[in-house]
């Protein structure tokens, strides 16, 4: 690949050769806006050829042109407009006058739907899926002409497999039955790359749904149908980088639209460098300005035009599709001041919108640094980020279930992680999970030990935070992320003609149904237990191969026991009398057994228990 500096030089030389061309308009971003928005000053990007010297006017009575900004590349104009509070829906006609051309551009002002984002919270159960690998509901869009990748091959892990939005719609009842209340698909925005863009994280058109998934109308249908069934939709979005085939990278508006280097320079993927007061400037620079990959140019959000572009695009998708929340990919790598402004703008426009940032870090202090109003940051700034992905929780759980129990090992690792919760503004807002599209499957991490897997599910569904499940975890899909394509396999039964349909109990093995039912029981039960998602946590230091913790709200309480010992043992409950003294018995949710006394408890080898305490 040519260096970015060389590519930029070629682009600008090409522009100089085309100076005499007639002006042409190709697109406007955003393609429309709405009346009565908080964000009523809008930057419109006009793109085509030879627009740089244009005079822009409009006769619309309630849309005022504030400023016309010509930039380094004459193929772009950035026009700032203000929409009056009394504006009515309709068409805004712009006239672009150049020396040799008079162009007319129509821009739509729409009426707002009035729908408010539902947000997501610890009361929800989030299901993460890869649209290309979950279910193929519309084979007619498997291959789309004129796109750069036109091969469908389910036998190749990095080719397109055909899953789409209709496939998700078709499985909404399956997800609702499992207990899911919020769905997070990996990015559905256009990724028109020559290869390996099935995952969705190399965006080439921020204002369109990838045609192989469907249309904007189909995405809106998914949101509406999910809402009708009591479920929410979370949009996955990337600010850090775009795909190398994105029009605004191939024809840069300005040299500093992306972070440029004399040769390919990869990020060090080390968020700790941004937090560490002893970090070198080089490490900080590589984290924030290095490229994610060769085909993923690093966007420079310090450029005010790009910053406005991305902020408006986020607002546009909320209003267009009716989504309930965002998951922001690679959160530590973009400019942090930009992200703070973005979060503030979104929450000003949509106070009920939820936002979770992906912070892939091993330690709680570094992770907490990115949280709003945290106890770690000392620079006086606020990220305005209400929720984080809790990787430290995950890593301590995996180690805790695989290690021998000890003073600071085994399940006590989980205890020590929870003991640092005060570093966050509110740890209960964290997203907790067992695996995802970048990580090895939890069933494989636990050496395909079903009792340990069930213990992990128990922890996920009963500890503080919002639980998130990766598609297929409920049916014991396995593999290590070496390479990552191995943990992105198709969900069996999502394609017509699949030999097994694991969306149905009849298509699953006995073990798979045992895992599925364990999760379903807890997911459906927790919906009606506010103490599990709003209550306080009381966690006792682990002893004798067991970790015991409680979730309490008012007179409602639950007792959870995770036991990694390889032998049966009798657990003396007198140690927990500060809580248990208020209760006489309970019901064990997983077995359905009645607990008639709270003095001792028999623990089976490698087992977990969830007790609904009763006065």
The catalytic residue positions are 329, 358
User: Length of the chain in residues, anyone?
Assistant: 615
SS (H, E, C) 48-110: EECCCCCEEEECCCCEEEEEEEECCCCCEEEEEEEECCCCCCEEEEEEEECCCCEEEEEEEEE
| β-strands 32-34, 556-563 pairing | unpaired
Query: Among positive and negative, which fits the CA dihedral 483, 492, 167, 121?
Result: negative
| β-strands 41-49, 63-70 pairing | unpaired
Tokens of 514: 């045992």
Q: How far apart are CA 252 and CA 250, in angstroms?
A: 6
What b-and-e string marks burial along 212-238, b requiring 16 or more CB atoms within 10 Å of the CB? bbbeeebbbbbbeebeeeebbbbbbbb
Tokens of 334: 């973009």
Bridge partners for 104 per DSSP? 95
Mention every residue, 6+ apart, whose C-beta is less than 8 A from residue 224.
322
For residue 145, count other CB atoms closer than 10 A to its CB: 6
Tell me the CA distances in angstroms from 309 to 110, 202, 420, one per residue in order: 19, 17, 38
- CA-based R_g, the chain, Å: 26
Q: How far apart are CA 438 and CA 482, in angstroms?
A: 10
Tokens of 241: 């980088």
Q: How far apart are CA 365 and CA 375, in angstroms?
A: 9
SS (H, E, C) 510-522: HHHHHHHHHHHHH
Tell me the CA distances in angstroms from 33 to 28, 164, 170, 343, 367, one per residue in order: 11, 27, 31, 19, 36
Tokens of 611: 């007790």
Mention every residue, 6+ apart, whose C-beta is less than 8 A from residue 43.
78, 79, 80, 305, 308, 309, 312
């Amino acid at each position: 690949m040519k260096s970015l500096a060389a590519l930029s030089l070629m682009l600008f030389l090409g522009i100089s050769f085309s100076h005499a061309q007639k002006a042409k308009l190709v697109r406007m971003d955003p393609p429309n806006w709405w009346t009565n928005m908080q964000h009523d000053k809008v930057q419109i990007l006009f793109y085509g050829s030879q627009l740089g010297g244009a005079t822009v006017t409009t006769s619309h009575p309630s849309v005022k042109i504030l400023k016309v900004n010509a930039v380094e590349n004459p193929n772009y104009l950035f026009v700032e407009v203000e929409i009056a509070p009394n504006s009515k829906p309709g068409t805004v006609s712009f006239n672009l006058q150049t020396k040799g051309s008079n162009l007319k551009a129509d821009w739509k002002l729409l009426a707002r739907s009035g729908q408010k984002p539902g947000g997501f919270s610890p009361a929800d159960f989030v299901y993460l899926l890869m649209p290309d690998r979950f279910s193929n509901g519309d084979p007619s869009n498997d291959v789309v002409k004129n796109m750069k990748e036109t091969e469908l091959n389910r036998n190749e892990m990095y080719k397109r497999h055909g899953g789409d939005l209709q496939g998700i719609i078709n499985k909404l009842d399956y997800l609702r039955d499992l207990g899911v209340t919020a769905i997070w698909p990996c990015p559905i925005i256009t990724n028109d790359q020559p290869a390996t863009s099935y995952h969705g994280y190399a965006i080439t058109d921020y204002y369109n749904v990838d045609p192989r998934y469907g249309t904007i109308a189909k995405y809106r249908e998914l949101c509406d149908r999910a809402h009708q069934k009591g479920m929410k939709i979370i949009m996955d979005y990337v600010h850090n980088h775009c795909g190398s085939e994105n029009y605004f990278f191939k024809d840069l508006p300005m040299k500093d639209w992306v972070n440029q280097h004399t040769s390919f320079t990869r990020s060090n993927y080390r968020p700790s460098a941004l937090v560490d007061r002893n970090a070198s400037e080089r490490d900080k620079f590589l984290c924030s300005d290095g490229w994610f990959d060769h085909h993923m140019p690093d966007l420079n959000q310090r450029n005010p035009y790009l910053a406005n572009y991305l902020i408006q695009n986020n607002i546009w998708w909320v209003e267009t599709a009716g989504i309930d929340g965002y998951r922001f990919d690679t959160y530590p790598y973009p400019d942090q001041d930009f992200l703070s402004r973005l979060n503030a703008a979104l929450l000003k426009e949509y106070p009920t919108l939820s936002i979770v940032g992906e912070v892939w870090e091993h330690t709680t202090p570094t992770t907490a640094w990115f949280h709003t109003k945290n106890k770690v940051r000392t620079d006086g700034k606020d990220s305005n980020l209400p929720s984080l992905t809790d990787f430290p929780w995950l890593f301590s759980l995996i180690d805790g279930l695989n290690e021998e129990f000890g003073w600071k090992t085994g399940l006590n690792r989980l205890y020590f992680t929870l003991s640092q919760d005060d570093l966050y503004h509110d740890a209960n807002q964290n997203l907790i999970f067992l695996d995802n599209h970048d990580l090895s499957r939890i069933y494989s991490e636990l050496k395909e030990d079903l009792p340990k897997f069930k213990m992990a599910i128990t922890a996920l569904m009963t500890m503080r935070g919002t639980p998130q499940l990766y598609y297929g975890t409920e049916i014991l899909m396995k593999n290590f992320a070496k390479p990552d394509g191995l943990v992105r396999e198709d969900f069996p039964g999502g394609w017509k003609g699949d030999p097994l349909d694991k969306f149905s109990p009849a298509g699953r093995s006995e073990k798979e149904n045992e895992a599925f039912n364990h999760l379903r029981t807890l997911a459906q039960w927790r919906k009606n237990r506010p103490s599990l998602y709003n209550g306080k946590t009381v966690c006792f230091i682990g002893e004798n191969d067991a970790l015991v913790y409680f979730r309490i709200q008012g007179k409602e309480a639950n007792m959870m026991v995770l036991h990694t010992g390889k032998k049966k043992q009798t657990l003396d409950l007198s140690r927990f009398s500060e809580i248990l003294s208020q209760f006489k018995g309970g019901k064990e949710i997983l077995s359905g057994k009645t607990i008639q006394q709270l003095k001792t408890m028999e623990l089976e080898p490698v087992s977990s228990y969830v007790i609904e305490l009763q006065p």
